[in-house]
Structure 1
Amino acid sequence: MAKFLNTSATNYFLEELIKQAKERVILISPFLKLNDRVKELLEDKNRLKIDIRIVYGKSELQPEEIQWLKSQDYIRTSFCKNLHAKCYLNEDSCIITSLNLYEFSQINNNEMGIFLSREEDGEVYKDAYEEAQRIIRVSDEVRISMEKIDEASVSNTNEVKASSKPPHEKLTTSKLATQLKLKTSELLDKLVQQGWLELKGDKHFITEAGKQNGGEFRTGPHGAYFLWPAETELK
């Protein structure tokens, strides 16, 4: 049965939600700024290869957050425009609250929240989970758009620094998909079939074959992405 949470209870149940996750953690919060305790909990889940998805709504990440995220193989991040929701889920429970992630453990704040159990609040949990998945889908589209902008900026910078280097020699997966007249998801499937990417859970990793064929894994301010030679042809 749903539980009302005050500030201290929200902190407690959020920590337990992350600790008890066996399959996945979804954290939706406007600000991607994590305190040491949350990082410690997520690092432990990362070591256990638990799929972690973080959606945030403010595009400026601090350098320390970027470096920390780079070191976590099973944490995926994406940017969602106009995000104001604060919702935290694992495979069994959900918290909908006023608490931002960066405010975790700040018990002097006045926060409210609702705790939902998949077992006891099945319909409401299902609705919350489906909305979280919708936000993730929308955030992916925005993140892909940001990658295109980032790539253009990188190309222009490289052109100035090394004029001998072709300005558009590598494309993001989404841009290459457009060039090949495919959807991004279709191109990702083809890259997996060709052995250039490997799918673990719902996260893609570049293989040695992918690197040998010019593929690169990059991490930018708006998340991780791949670059491929513009002349890439698939079997």
Structure 2
Amino acid sequence: MAKFLNTSATNYYLEELIKGASERLILISPFLKLNDRIKELLEDKDRLKIDVRIVYGKSELQPEEINWLKELSFVRTSFCKNLHAKCYLNEDSCIITSLNLYEFSQVNNNEMGIYVSRDADSEVYKDAYEEAQRIIRISDEVRISLEKITEPTSSADETQHDDVEHTKLTTSKLAKSLGLKTNELLDKLLTAGYLQLVDERHFLTDDGKSVGGEFKYSKRFGPYFLWPKDVLDHA
């Protein structure tokens, strides 16, 4: 029978679900910033060569998440446009919840969830698993790399890449060049009116466009922004 989970129970059952995975693990969360405990559990699954799929929907991963993920051989990461579902499954159980795989949410937010056992609720588990597989199918698998957005694919692209690289940077690279965290830069861009936040997603405003901000979408890597190096000088 399904169990109702409050915030602490959701976190507990999520850890147990990850620990108990012996064949497969699917983690679907719009936002992705993992705490140390979850990272330890996923590193253990990687050592055991368990197939792990992580689907996220935030426009950009944090640099620390990129650096960590690219070291894991059996963890595959996909970007899903317009993702809002939060669902975590292994071969035996499933959690459907409001909880993002996001460190802040796990510590600060009030969350709810439902725990489903494959043995006790086979139909519910089956439906959730099939929907998770559908989300994976419509997602674009991402090869984790710090250079994933600007890497050229041909000599012609390389010329264009060089031009853009010298004039505009992705949000994460601009933040690094300014000595900021990506979220800190996003907050400054929001305050300046260059971005607006709608349903937990960042959108480029007309003011953002006027100072040279660009919205880009790569089928392979998802949406991202490009900014002039001096964009904050106009704020």
1:36 to partner: Cα distance? 1.0
Moved beyond 6 Å, runs of 4+: none
1:155 to partner: Cα distance? 4.8
Instruction: Name the counterpart of 1:85.
Output: 85
The residue correspondences of 1:143-222 to structure 2 (distance < 5 A) are 155-156=155-156, 158-159=158-159, 222=221
Instruction: Name the counterpart of 1:185.
Output: none
Instruction: Name the counterpart of 1:31.
Output: 31
State the alpha-carbon separation in 2 of the partners of residues 60 and 72 from structure 1: 19
The residue correspondences of 1:1-235 to structure 2 (distance < 5 A) are 1-103=1-103, 106-140=106-140, 155-156=155-156, 158-159=158-159, 222=221
Long gaps (5+) in structure 2: 163-219, 223-235
Residues 15 and 34 of structure 1: is their aligned pair in 2 closer, same or farther, counting only changes over 3 Å?
Answer: same
State the alpha-carbon separation in 2 of the partners of residues 106 and 70 from structure 1: 23
State the alpha-carbon separation in 1 of the partners of residues 44 and 28 from structure 2: 19
Identity in percent: 78
Q: Deviation digits for residues 123-182 of structure 1, max 9, x if unmatched?
A: 000000000000000003x869xxx986657755633689xxxxxxxxxxxxxxxxxxxx
Q: Deviation digits for residues 89-129 of structure 1, max 9, x if unmatched?
A: 00000000000001478344210000000000000000000
Long gaps (5+) in structure 1: 163-220, 224-235
TM-score in terms of structure 1 length: 0.62
TM-score in terms of structure 2 length: 0.62
State the alpha-carbon separation in 1 of the partners of residues 104 and 4 from structure 2: 17
2:100 corresponds to which letter in structure 1? N
Residues 156 and 63 of structure 1: is their aligned pair in 2 closer, same or farther, counting only changes over 3 Å?
Answer: farther
Residues 56 and 128 of structure 1: is their aligned pair in 2 closer, same or farther, counting only changes over 3 Å?
Answer: same
2:52 corresponds to which letter in structure 1? I
Compare 19-28 and 96-105 and name the one that shifted more.
96-105
2:113 corresponds to which letter in structure 1? G
Contact kept? 2:30, 2:83, Cα under 8 Å: yes
State the alpha-carbon separation in 1 of the partners of residues 80 and 105 from structure 2: 25
> Counterpart of 2:33 in 1: which secondary structure?
coil
Q: Deviation digits for residues 198-222 of structure 1, max 9, x if unmatched?
A: xxxxxxxxxxxxxxxxxxxxxxx93
1:68 to partner: Cα distance? 0.8
1:59 to partner: Cα distance? 2.4
Instruction: Name the counterpart of 2:202.
Output: none
> Counterpart of 1:60 in 2: which secondary structure?
coil
> Counterpart of 2:128 in 1: which secondary structure?
helix
1:138 corresponds to which letter in structure 2? I
Contact kept? 1:33, 1:102, Cα under 8 Å: yes
State the alpha-carbon separation in 1 of the partners of residues 153 and 96 from structure 2: 38
1:71 to partner: Cα distance? 0.4
Contact kept? 1:11, 1:104, Cα under 8 Å: no
